[in-house]
Amino acid sequence: MTKVVREQRLPHIMVVLPPTSDTSDARAKADELIRDRLGIENFEIMLVELEEEGQVATPGGIVQGKRFRVAFRQTHGVVVYVHPDYDKIVNR
């Protein structure tokens, strides 16, 4: 019998930045994208982690850089769903 493991995903965005970038750069860019592209004004960034670095595939092609995963939580407005273990998952 094969055991199926399901990955839990939090609301997040992926940010690709230059190779010299760090987590504070990713946090700032994610803040801008969440506000401008997603139109969410009231949120908090819960987690910023480096996903990969080096040759990173993007919709525009392969670039040299770093890809960060930025998990966030909407704090006000219409929230469709929040995973019951959200805080536990983010605060590893």
3-state secondary structure of 77: coil
Give 62's strand partners.
57
Question: pLDDT by residue (tens digit) across 32-61?
Answer: 999 988 888 889 998 999 999 999 998 889
Which residues, other chains included, contact 27 with Cβ-Cβ below 8 Å and sequence gap of 6+? Answer: 45, 48, 70
CA distances from 56 to 23, 52, 59, 84 (A): 17, 7, 10, 33
Task: Tell me, yes or no, if the pTM score tops 0.85.
Answer: no
Cα(73)–Cα(64) distance, integer angstroms: 29
R_g of the chain computed on alpha carbons: 15
| Confidence (pLDDT) at 85 | 74
